[in-house]
Amino acid sequence: MGKQLNSYQIAQQQVEEAVNKLGLSKSVFDILKQPVRELTVAVPVEMDDGTVKVFTGHRVQHNYALGPLKGGIRFHPDVTLDEVRALSIWMTFKCAVVGIPYGGAKGGVVCNPKELSRRELQRLSREYIRAISPILGAEKDVPAPDVYTNAQVMAWMMDEYSRFKGYNEFGVITGKPIIVGGSLGRNEATARGCTFVVREAANAIGLDIKGATVAIQGYGNAGSIVATLLHRMGCKIVAVVDSTGGAYNPQGLIPEKLEAYKKETGTVKGYPGSKGIENEELLTMTCDILIPAALENQITEEIAPRVKAKIIGEAANGPTTPKADRILTEKGVLVMPDILANAGGVTVSYFEWVQNNMGYYWSEEEVNTKLEIKMVNAFNEVYNMFKRHKNIDMRTAAYMVSISHVSEAMHVRGWLGDAPLEEKQRRIKMA
């Protein structure tokens, strides 16, 4: 069911609803409903056996009203152009909701990196970045890691782009290793930002974070770090699942030990002292906090009526469908939408870019402190919007905050002509 849903259409529906709620002109939606630029490239890669395989890659640039474009690159066999379009839209509003001066972009290559050797992966990374290099730049479009890409892949891409330019341009890529301009705190940033938002949500509804039960779907980088950080806050991690199965223990799992077990075995399934649990069981189990940290369209209209969590923190992009959103809102579940909950990664990517431009680097404590301020302020702005308006959910509130910022930038840049004074005042007030 989830795979049949079109993420691009979902993103467009979310934009349209927020534009209508804000009472903005149709021109705002007409600009924001589609990307400003799309590039699809053929990426020939020499394999280790001497053959050449051609991969398909995409880079989609959505909107640059607030600043240079920003968005990750994913390597995945199920990458589609519509998926990348949707992700670029979500990136625009993810940046805007936390108040960083970026527009949204996204990239992807149709491949299965698990089937590639390290040398093949490096060749693919370099060939792809070379193919899209004409539309990249530290002041134009700044990629970052996403699904199945990491700091090493970013280092190869930065190096290839720098060769293309003839000089080091560290700021063209974020999520790099520390030694070549990366930022301290970047690896944990997405998860850390999510935990700050979940903590604030718990405070808002009167849920004591200490002792709160947590279930996590997906145990990769984001999911495992969220588990560790929430555990340190006093939460009880009762269940996790990955692509092969799950582990459940009502007395609580120890994230560090679970991560070590997964590194050794390749799965969380079979973790000592746990009971097996499947994906749907986890999504519908009794818990205080549910963290979807896998892929899109996981909580559907079939799943939503059975969700028992009080708070959902979307560490993944687009894990909840629009119909499921409405059901969850009616049930009183407080959903922390992806464009807010997982914006910690792009926020620290922005910090990395700033540090690259300055040539001066901050301590991890300084990065984490700045991240917490950004995430708490963003949560408060979205939650206040949510409380001020009837019949909206937190996702729509987040889009309303974001679109009010992007729309104002488009107006002052002259993209939409001169707005009536009362419309400007309404946008400023609502933002």
Same domain, 202 and 310: yes
DSSP states of 369-386:
HHHHHHHHHHHHHHHHHH
* pLDDT (tens digit per residue) in 135-175: 999 999 999 998 899 999 999 999 999 999 999 999 999 99
Percent of the chain topping pLDDT 90 = 87
Same domain, 120 and 161: yes
pLDDT value for 6: 84
pLDDT value for 417: 76
* pLDDT (tens digit per residue) in 241-279: 998 899 999 999 999 999 999 999 999 999 999 999 999
- Position 430 pLDDT exceeds 80: no
Percent of the chain topping pLDDT 70 = 96
Same domain, 318 and 245: yes
- The answer to whether 293 and 313 are in contact (CB under 8 A) is no
How distant, in Å, are the alpha carbons of 43, 48, 304, 423 from that of 52?
10, 9, 45, 56
Same domain, 135 and 267: no
Confidence band for 423, pLDDT divided at 50, 70 and 90: low
User: What b/e string do you get for 236-246 counting C-beta neighbours within 10 Å, with b at 16 or more?
Assistant: bbbbbbbeebb
Q: Is residue 241 part of a domain?
A: yes
* pLDDT (tens digit per residue) in 14-23: 899 899 999 9
* pLDDT (tens digit per residue) in 285-314: 999 999 999 887 889 999 999 999 999 999
Active site residues: 106
Out of 303, 322, 341, pick the residue that ends a domain: 341
Same domain, 203 and 298: yes
- Position 376 pLDDT exceeds 70: yes
Same domain, 278 and 320: yes
Confidence band for 426, pLDDT divided at 50, 70 and 90: low
What's the pTM value of the predicted model, to 2 decimals? 0.89
Q: Is residue 346 part of a domain?
A: no
Tokens 């970026």, located at residue: 102
DSSP code at position 305: G
| Average pLDDT across the chain, whole number | 93
CATH of the domain at 148: 3.40.50.10860
pLDDT value for 418: 64
Closest CA to 10 of 406, 431, 325: 325
* pLDDT (tens digit per residue) in 47-88: 999 999 999 999 999 999 999 999 999 999 999 999 999 999
Closest CA to 99 of 342, 372, 377, 362: 377
- Ranges of beta strands (E only) in 77-226 are 103-110, 141-145, 213-217
CA pair distance 202, 291, nearest whole angstrom? 13
How distant, in Å, are the alpha carbons of 78, 112, 137, 180, 389 from that of 119?
22, 14, 25, 20, 53
- Position 424 pLDDT exceeds 80: no
Region 186-213 average pLDDT: 96
Range of the domain at 69: 35-172
Same domain, 216 and 319: yes
CATH of the domain at 321: 3.40.50.720
Q: Is residue 213 part of a domain?
A: yes
